[in-house]
Structure 1
Amino acid sequence: MSRQLKKKQQQTTAQRLDSIIKSARKIMRKDKGLSGDLDRLPMLTWIMFLKFLDDMEHIEEERAEIAGKAYRGAIEAPYRWRDWAADEGGITGPDLIDFLTLDVAGRPDGTRGPGLFAYLRSLRGNNGTRGRKDVIATVFRGLANRMESGYLLRDVIDLIDGIHFDSSEEMHTLGRLYETLLREMRDAAGDSGEFYTPRPIVRFMVQVVDPKLGEAVLDPACGTGGFLTEAFVHMAEQADTVEKRDVLQSTSIFGGEAKPLPFLLAQMNLLLHGLEAPKIAPDNSLKVRLSEIGEADRVDVILTNPPFGGEEEAGILNNFPEDRRTAETALLFLQLIMRRLKRGGKGRAAVVVPHGVLFGDGIAARIKADLLTEFNLHTVVRLPEGVFAPYTDIPTNIIFFDTTKTTGDIWFYEQPKPNGRKKYSKTAPLNFDELKPCRDWWSAREENEQAWKVHGPDLIETDKAGRVVGCNLDLKNPNGSGVIDHRTPLEIVDSIETKEQRILAIMGEIKRTLSEMA
């Protein structure tokens, strides 16, 4: 039986992966070096990352052999998964722990040399260009082995060897597993305001923003890389020549992610989808002083769901103007996004924000006024409750803006609640087809039961000195009844006066009746 046919038969379904991971976690609970999922999840992830890399390089090696070309993987013997992990009777116990953690250790081939982590952290790309080796080195600089028992670790490795990363669907399966474990970790780690963006929302945002090949796409808080992966796939359809594929690989996708675990998963996600050397910075994107961001740092497209509600250290806040410093992380990221967009109509953005950003006063109002007066905020999509379940029930919105002009009319579109239910949930999530009416409306806009528009400059409130004191974007749908009022303002006022007169007349009749009864 060929290796490819064998792998096809062993494709890792969601049910099988779930069973493997449950068994691995059960084993890891016995290890004294791991105190909970905060320790277990990173361990599982880097182990799966190395298995994933070896699977991917196996496929690339086979393709090169068919094409009659030489192939050299990023990881060389005896450090490849197939060299030390794939043999169930291979290195184990204290020897396995030493091989992983020591600077110099006994290796599976019987020689001595750098330990696995020391080797991986030392990898460097060729010719000064960032490649897959640099990605691997960056990933493992933020990771460590925490298991104390090499025998238990060998059992976990044998289980993970049963996972086969041969398709993007298997990567999505792993992503869904990560989401589940992340939710379990929140009680231990605290709610930092971060949550996974559902794939239907990611797809919708990418489709309507429509990044073009040759444009630079950024997610400054990329998490597991959902937006960047979707954007890469979207642009890959346009890369029909060798030259265009080179552009796609080298100058298209950029991100930032400060936390080691999602950073690792973002690398896995993008590598699996075909991006050979993801340019994801393992840093807090807010660490750069806003005033120092210049034209060379700007990009064409920003797609993101930044964390909200968190708190940043004083050093981060000092990177922002004194009258724009806030504890709301979402507002800090919004300022960063505004600064990172290319000027002159070349930049556009789609950003998920919580309701609090829309109605907030004070600093929030000043930042929103900046958005309206310096950018074209053209669309706000209001999402129903439960879209981000189970991570949060906080209502959210997607704001779309560009650098073509200052804001004129702002279109609002209210995504309806699910039919027959009060809200979306983990077990009954939003699906992509439910966003089709909004996608159809996007290019042929008119007011309807879900859509209305307002004049943006009218939303900015100032005091007598001209200082911004309010800018409320939390506007209710005036067409929720399904009937659009096409009357002029004067006609509406006349109608209100008529109704008030009728009410006064009825109140007079009631008073007279009560007087006669007294």
Structure 2
Amino acid sequence: MARTKKKNGADAAPMTTSQMLGSLLKSARDIMRKDKGLNGDLDRLPLLTWIMFLKFLDDLEQQREEETALSGKKFKAAIEAPYRWRDWAADPQGITGDELLSFINSDEAVRSDGTKGLGLFAYLRSLSSSNGDNRRDVIATVFKGVDNRMKSGYLLRDIINKVGGIHFTSSDELHTLGALYESMLREMRDAAGDSGEFYTPRAVVRFMVEVTDPRLGETVLDPASGTGGFLVEAYNHLEKQVKTVADRKRLQDDSIAGCEPKSLPYLLCQMNLLLHGLDAPQIDPGNALRFKLTEIGEKERVDVILTNPPFGGEEEKGIQGNFPEDRQTAETALLFLQLIMRKLKRQPTLAGRPARAAVVVPNGTLFGDGVCARIKEELLKSFNLHTIVRLPNGVFAPYTPIPTNLLFFDSSGPTKDIWFVEHTIPEGRKHYTKTQPLKYPDFEPCLNWWNRREVNESAWMVPVSEIRDANYNLDQRNPNKKSLVDELAPAEAANRILQSEREILAILEGLVNSMSEGS
């Protein structure tokens, strides 16, 4: 790598791949800020993503074309001329301005070779796998949910030239870009506010994958993929187990699947998986709940499910009708829980282990009655709900203040006992916040406990008979943790309670007086 000269003539230290890529992406985002068609990172990141997506595909195609030529086989291109990156984007002095915008946006346009034909997006949306390349369907689905909001074709050309400096055939650059891309996703989620519902903290994702421990040969599904956090972590976990060419093929073709109906997270999920090494992600762009539950058979079932399904949402009547009459509800989280149970294989996996699931649920799922209780009854009778990890408030800040829990269950038989374990906040901290989030090392006590289970101040076991007698209420209090009142002498506890009551009465009196004065 070339060394640069400082103004005083001294050699500057060469930039690392990380610095170069970080600088390049920052420059591209600075350029986007000048364009009047883009409004914040919610617009900028998708635009940068589809541009990187096309550059990545072209680099991959060129690499595969060379490999195919060496083997003497005929190469089938996913994207053909003149729509490949090398045809219209690679030349820094290539089409720009209104000509570039027209080529990308219009249904019919003058192409880079001077001929008339479909515009870029129109062509990409028309692709199908009729030539035997499944990536064509992926590309078509991605670009059905993409548009170009940039108003200046000259600024767009500048961004394309920046992205042209990324080499997707370099493993160093790919690894670094994957990490940078994840940091950009976090920024976008922060900017999204209420739209950030599909974000699960990386530490939680990693913990769930680690203890569920997917094995090569098992199929992993996230039916609510969002931007692909669980699938990327599962892919990384499985990749460490690859030893042979056959292992690599199995990982690429038969291991990872997802479902994401929203166009923006679908695009981001595809790019996230591509950057981490999955060549043709199998992400279903439809609603995972759209199939009738009773029609999902063994062929559609998987070995491992890792997910944080949306909660607090409401599904339409048509979707609710796919579920048994006595378990129909508008609450999305409860519908997903039923889907997950249905999608788990009943037989042991190829790795000789029971099919298993790790699911994020809100507190309401634990104590809910009615339909919710009936769903939990089915869960405990049909599956082994062996562990519930109770997370403290603030873990999902700032996306939701709702307390959350992690359910771990498998298909080894009905539940007999449930272990509850409270995740404890490290000493010196009161709670997790956006600026002081949960980190993976914070899970160390829970990880140490996982394989050597014993009752302690944070962990306890409840027989399923007690849960059944409590109308399937899983919101169980820790019997080993004393409250502040429990730890005080009776007289001191009584004094504390009286003091609290006096303070409440004083507040109420103040409110009454202010209301009287106002009238």
| Residue of structure 1 in register with 2:357 after alignment | 349
For structure 1, the residue ranges without an aligned partner over 5 or more in a row are 463-469, 483-498, 504-518
Q: How does 1:446-465 map to 2 (within 5 A)?
A: 446-461=454-469
| Residue of structure 2 in register with 1:169 after alignment | 176
Find 1:445's aligned residue among 419, 444, 453. 453
Do residues 19 (structure 1) and 26 (structure 2) align? yes
Aligned CA distance change for structure 1 residues 273 and 156 (closer, same or farther; 3 Å): closer
- For residues 433 and 60 of structure 2, the distance between their equivalents in structure 1, rounded to whole angstroms, comes to 35
CA drift at 1:38: 5.2
Q: How does 1:277-426 map to 2 (within 5 A)?
A: 277-344=280-347, 346-426=354-434
Aligned CA distance change for structure 1 residues 141 and 12 (closer, same or farther; 3 Å): farther
Aligned CA distance change for structure 1 residues 318 and 193 (closer, same or farther; 3 Å): farther
Q: How does 1:106-505 map to 2 (within 5 A)?
A: 106-125=110-129, 128=132, 131-161=134-164, 166-186=173-193, 191=194, 194-344=197-347, 346-461=354-469, 470-481=471-482
CA drift at 1:155: 3.9
Aligned CA distance change for structure 1 residues 272 and 8 (closer, same or farther; 3 Å): farther
Aligned CA distance change for structure 1 residues 25 and 323 (closer, same or farther; 3 Å): farther
- For residues 338 and 230 of structure 1, the distance between their equivalents in structure 2, rounded to whole angstroms, comes to 22
- For residues 45 and 149 of structure 2, the distance between their equivalents in structure 1, rounded to whole angstroms, comes to 11
Once the two structures are superposed, residues 71-124 of structure 1 have per-residue CA deviations (whole angstroms, 9 ceiling, x without a partner) of 765334432334322433321222112211233321223333332112222334
- For residues 57 and 450 of structure 2, the distance between their equivalents in structure 1, rounded to whole angstroms, comes to 40
Identity %: 59
CA drift at 1:352: 0.7
CA drift at 1:461: 4.2
CA drift at 1:50: 2.0
Find 2:52's aligned residue among 48, 53, 72. 48
Output the TM-score relative to the length of structure 1. Answer: 0.81
- For residues 163 and 142 of structure 1, the distance between their equivalents in structure 2, rounded to whole angstroms, comes to 24
SS in 1 for 2:47: helix
- For residues 426 and 57 of structure 1, the distance between their equivalents in structure 2, rounded to whole angstroms, comes to 40
- Code of the residue aligned with 2:394 in structure 1: it is G
Aligned CA distance change for structure 1 residues 419 and 74 (closer, same or farther; 3 Å): farther
Aligned CA distance change for structure 1 residues 117 and 58 (closer, same or farther; 3 Å): same
| Residue of structure 1 in register with 2:84 after alignment | 80
- For residues 167 and 364 of structure 2, the distance between their equivalents in structure 1, rounded to whole angstroms, comes to 43
Once the two structures are superposed, residues 210-234 of structure 1 have per-residue CA deviations (whole angstroms, 9 ceiling, x without a partner) of 1111111110001111111221222
SS in 2 for 1:27: coil
SS in 1 for 2:407: strand
- Code of the residue aligned with 1:383 in structure 2: it is L
Aligned CA distance change for structure 1 residues 60 and 383 (closer, same or farther; 3 Å): farther
CA drift at 1:133: 2.6
CA drift at 1:68: 10
Output the TM-score relative to the length of structure 2. Answer: 0.81
- For residues 53 and 346 of structure 2, the distance between their equivalents in structure 1, rounded to whole angstroms, comes to 39
CA drift at 1:256: 0.2
- Code of the residue aligned with 1:78 in structure 2: it is P
State whether residues 27 and 156 of structure 1, in contact with CA within 8 Å, keep that contact through their aligned partners in structure 2. no
Output the aligned Cα RMSD: 3.0
Find 2:99's aligned residue among 91, 95, 105. 95
CA drift at 1:158: 3.8
State whether residues 27 and 155 of structure 1, in contact with CA within 8 Å, keep that contact through their aligned partners in structure 2. no
Aligned CA distance change for structure 1 residues 62 and 272 (closer, same or farther; 3 Å): farther
| Residue of structure 2 in register with 1:496 after alignment | none
SS in 2 for 1:471: coil
CA drift at 1:142: 2.0
- Code of the residue aligned with 1:168 in structure 2: it is H
SS in 1 for 2:268: helix
| Residue of structure 1 in register with 2:505 after alignment | none
| Residue of structure 2 in register with 1:494 after alignment | none
SS in 2 for 1:167: helix
| Residue of structure 1 in register with 2:9 after alignment | none
Once the two structures are superposed, residues 174-230 of structure 1 have per-residue CA deviations (whole angstroms, 9 ceiling, x without a partner) of 1221232233233xxxx3682411222212111211111111111000111111122
| Residue of structure 2 in register with 1:506 after alignment | none
State whether residues 49 and 271 of structure 2, in contact with CA within 8 Å, keep that contact through their aligned partners in structure 1. no
CA drift at 1:237: 2.4
State whether residues 227 and 265 of structure 2, in contact with CA within 8 Å, keep that contact through their aligned partners in structure 1. yes
- Code of the residue aligned with 1:216 in structure 2: it is T
For structure 2, the residue ranges without an aligned partner over 5 or more in a row are 3-13, 349-353, 484-489, 495-519
| Residue of structure 2 in register with 1:516 after alignment | none
Aligned CA distance change for structure 1 residues 126 and 54 (closer, same or farther; 3 Å): same
- Code of the residue aligned with 1:394 in structure 2: it is I
- Code of the residue aligned with 1:454 in structure 2: it is V
- Code of the residue aligned with 2:449 in structure 1: it is W
- For residues 32 and 355 of structure 2, the distance between their equivalents in structure 1, rounded to whole angstroms, comes to 45
- For residues 459 and 21 of structure 1, the distance between their equivalents in structure 2, rounded to whole angstroms, comes to 56
State whether residues 199 and 226 of structure 1, in contact with CA within 8 Å, keep that contact through their aligned partners in structure 2. yes
- Code of the residue aligned with 2:189 in structure 1: it is L
- For residues 481 and 17 of structure 1, the distance between their equivalents in structure 2, rounded to whole angstroms, comes to 54
